[in-house]
Structure 1
């Protein structure tokens, strides 16, 4: 039997160059790199397609897809009894990992009563006042674990996460860290050194920065441990890392794989060839929204998928309403179900490393690793993590990326469903749950939502409603070419809907004059002219002049960008234009100011 028979031999193989030539012909003179090559904020270019001709340098030690994925739920312990009740409820709902946030020492026997430590992972975020809990927990474990390998989880003293978010580091915590490493050395799957990089991504960094700065902070921790006579092998064996998960699905997969690979490269530099760390992924704060909050469920799902495919050992999925509400039983249960469904029904973790060999993901992983290693070396050459943070170098670099992201969101080039794209106009949100905007402190990193600036716009609208008992109304007034007026009305509906205004469905008229007269006399607060460029050339000025002769107060906008006519239209009374290049924050803020000014005049 012939085993190497080629399929479809009558078809000649197609080279990559032939594909590119065909694409260029279809582009009709458009630039290939500008139209089809994706340039993301990691300063990495991604090609639109790959084939067997592409020579890829595959990373090693990218991790293993684990069938024993830990599905964590975070529990803030206000008392050992309530903490225990929440833990038991979580386990009954399918959660396989419990993360307790401890502010004070509590009895481990009460907190963990009824929890089978042989099957459920337990982890603890410890404040300085709660460190004494570790010895009590050790005694409880000794009495309840059948095999030392069964105990899974970690301690998080918050040494790095607290430092980068407060600017203060407690050197005494290093002594505690050393004691924990020694005390728990017989429990190989319970980790005592936690390095968290979540604050980087949640403060607006890109993936390369998150990977590099997390590794830089690891070097800092290693050196502190070595100064205190902890063996470097013990450090790596005790290591737990937590990274945030962003919304760029494939890039996030590559990020986790790149991190694992670089971690092993660093270990080799210290002479450590074999070790077993754990890597937990947490859904990001940055990508979540208060408006259209159920969309957070979709974001959390894709984030969890990318982390699992990127070979994370555990996931911590926040409740979809955590950003504006105390998580309910429903939102907690749904968050837990996401990981359960992915693991049990989508077979994640039941297929060994399913993304290995994918041209695209292999390249993403390799490029992130290369860029992150370059940045990592730069920090180390300049004195290391602590010096770079004290000199605000890390904060400044993250701030640059954050501002670029916010700019792209405001220009709607970085879409966020329910925030700057496809807003839910039926949704009513109380002003008190919306942000007033971001507060900056150049000395520290502040985890925040990407949507804060747009939330601040929405907050102004809701305050107008609360003060006037009336929601501002936007009227889409169209005339002329059917196709273009419909398209521009749909664009305007989506663009200005971000504001939280009431947006009426498009009203079409037979002429510009008729449209102007009707909209000037209506009850709307804002009017948007929607038509085609030829119709604007012919009738836009007439519309504005007719409109302003009747109504001088309303906000009047035009959907489109008739550059050659703008001076005349502005002089006649047009307030502005909305189009693909418009900044949604600047535009809507200007509209709100005029509405508030008109309200003050009316109220006297």
Structure 2
């Protein structure tokens, strides 16, 4: 047999799951396999560390098709017709093939779309008033074109964010379906699910509630004599994209599959709906805002691989100012690069057959279907929202997410890990905390609580003209003191304090004396466990004999914590420390010292 006909890697013996598990168990040295290697997602899904041909993977049907005609959207807020048209033409020149116009008042469609080729550019409209009048104007202007895009009247998103459902929107939706009947590629009904994920929901909840709202609208529109097939053919779904890359790919695939199941229950074999994916608000940051570009890139990748029809990427600075020409251009370039240079959308369903993604997709679909059916059995979408069942379920997941962020178990660059200590942020750009209204959904950033803590620092600096200084006082074992100093540097840097680089001392006694007399407002002891056992108590006593006002912390988890606290230690920073609780306590003591 020639080498050309040999199977790849055939010279290596195959390894069974049993053999692999034996080796892993030995390497874990008694540690729990599930705790160490199995990823427990907040959707209630346990994801294994590896899959092979021995795993029986059920492949979902109707997961969608990877779009070769992917729409790269830019959102344009129309303040006046002339400016809106100018910005749209500029966007097309910069490579965008889709425009979303946000209209606050009625405008002339011909003037707004003048110079835009409706056969090659998708045009969509977010409009809450005069939608019928505008659409009549639009279809009259576009009668000789292949009009593509959608209209978003906020029929669901307005309800879940205000708590008030406008029945007249059903009449409007029914009329829009009739008006756009001659344009099969233009969708008259947009159902948004972005508010769920952006309010802290998990992927299963986003899918289930979006489909519940679809059933609710079908029932309402059927009362207006709109045919079910026409409803499904006129649907555009707008879903948010979260940070969990593979889970998000699975989410979109699962949504397509479950949508087909729902359609089948209504006797609809095929529907010509579209899915527009939007980068989430939840995952974005004000601090170290450029990292939003990285988040947007991975979010766009997961959406495209999940078989969406269009992508809307927000500008990286959108959360704290009006996007600039630069940030808007960069946002649009992300999808262009993925599509043209990375060949996304040019390979047919590249994730199909991946055991990992197939498993994630199937499990998400199973969980979402279960939740969907539970909501329907309890009276449906409207009843579940009116009695606050949906809000309570989302709040439960949101609190779990925020706890993981505060404990730094969910790392977010520039927010709770790896802060940019060279950056200064104006206090008024930072959140003062999250508003809590159990009756509605409020899209928000996950970082609001940490931002509020950072805002306290910036307000203190503005008031006292002093940025609190943190000294990392290290001694003893070289490797451990450097590792713990690096950890403390990263941990406390989230507060916005001026954290200095590690300062090494020849002994605990010298470190205590020098740090007590330094200009620092916060001192962190950095050494090894053995050094702590031998010298930490003496360090704290010597330090407090000289200075009683400074905040004194220790990096690590000492065994004699009670004794250290009694001697005057304020707290510790380690892997189990809650960043919000710890840094807020430090702030309070530093505030008291500086203001006095």
Superposed pair shares fold, TM > 0.5: yes
Residue 218 of structure 2 aligns to a residue whose secondary structure is helix
Pairing partner for 2:270 from 231, 251, 274: 274
Q: Is 1:514 aligned with 2:510?
A: yes
Q: CA RMSD in A?
A: 1.2
What's the CA shift for 1:128?
2.0
Corresponding residue for residue 592 of structure 1 = 587
Picking from 558, 569, 573, the partner of 1:578 is: 573
Offset of 1:400 from its aligned partner? 0.5
Cα deviation, residue 18, structure 1:
1.2
Aligned length: 595
- Residue 337, structure 1, aligned to residue 337, structure 2: no
Kept in 1, the 8 Å contact 2:131–2:172? The answer is no
SS of equivalent to 1:510 = coil
| Deviation of the 1:5 alpha carbon | 5.7
The equivalent of 2:562 in structure 1 is 567
Separation (CA, whole Å) in 2 of partners of 1:361 and 1:379: 27
> Retained in 1: the 8 A contact 2:464–2:595?
no
CA contact (8 A) 1:474 1:504 kept: yes
Partner of 2:304: 308
Q: Distance in 1 between matches of 2:91 and 2:589?
A: 50
Unaligned runs of 5+ in 2: none
CA contact (8 A) 1:199 1:447 kept: yes
2: CA distance, partners of 1:131 / 1:457: 46
Map of 1:77 onto structure 2? 78
**2:468–2:520 contact (8 Å) kept in structure 1:** yes
Secondary structure at the aligned position of 2:240 is classed as strand
In the superposition, the TM-score normalised over structure 1's length comes to 0.97
3-state SS, counterpart of residue 363 of structure 2: helix
Match of 1:249 in 2: 245
CA deviation string 1:560-590 (max 9, x = no partner) = 1113x11111111111111100000010000
* Residue 66 of structure 1, CA deviation: 1.0
Instruction: Render the CA deviation track for 1:394-441: whole Å, top value 9, x for unaligned.
Output: 000000000000000000000000000100000000000000010010
SS in 2 for 1:557: strand
Change (3 A) 1:197 1:8: closer
- 1:327 lines up with 2:323 in the alignment: yes
CA distance in 2, matches of 1:379, 1:214: 11
Deviation at 1:470, TM superposition (A): 1.3
1:460 and 2:456 equivalent?
yes
Q: Deviations over 1:77-124 (max 9, x none)?
A: 111111111111111111110001111110111111111111100000
Q: CA offset at residue 600 of structure 1? A: 2.3
What secondary structure is seen at the aligned counterpart in 2 of 1:21? Answer: helix
Residue 38 (structure 2) aligns with: 37
Q: Does 1:347 align with 2:334?
A: no
| SS of match in other structure, 2:459 | helix
User: Is residue 2:517 matched to residue 1:548?
Assistant: no
Structure 1 unaligned spans of 5+: none
Q: 1:457 and 1:119 mapped to 2: Cα distance?
A: 48
C-alpha displacement of 1:224: 0.5
Residue number among 395, 402, 411 corresponding to 1:399 in the alignment? 395
For the pair 1:448 / 2:444, whether they are aligned, the reply is: yes
Answer whether contact 1:103 1:130 (CA < 8 A) is retained. Answer: no
Counterparts of 1:307 and 1:10, CA distance in 2: 39
Secondary structure in 2 matching 1:128: coil
- The structure-2 alpha-carbon separation of the partners of 1:156 and 1:390, relative to structure 1 and needing over 3 Å to count, comes to same
Deviation at 1:517, TM superposition (A): 0.5
In 2, Cα distance between equivalents of 1:443 and 1:312:
31
Assess if the C-alpha contact under 8 Å between 1:174 and 1:224 holds in 2: yes
TM-score (norm 2): 0.98
SS at structure 1 position matched to 2:142: helix
1:503 corresponds in structure 2 to: 499
The whole-number CA distance in structure 1 between the counterparts of 2:130 and 2:69 is 33
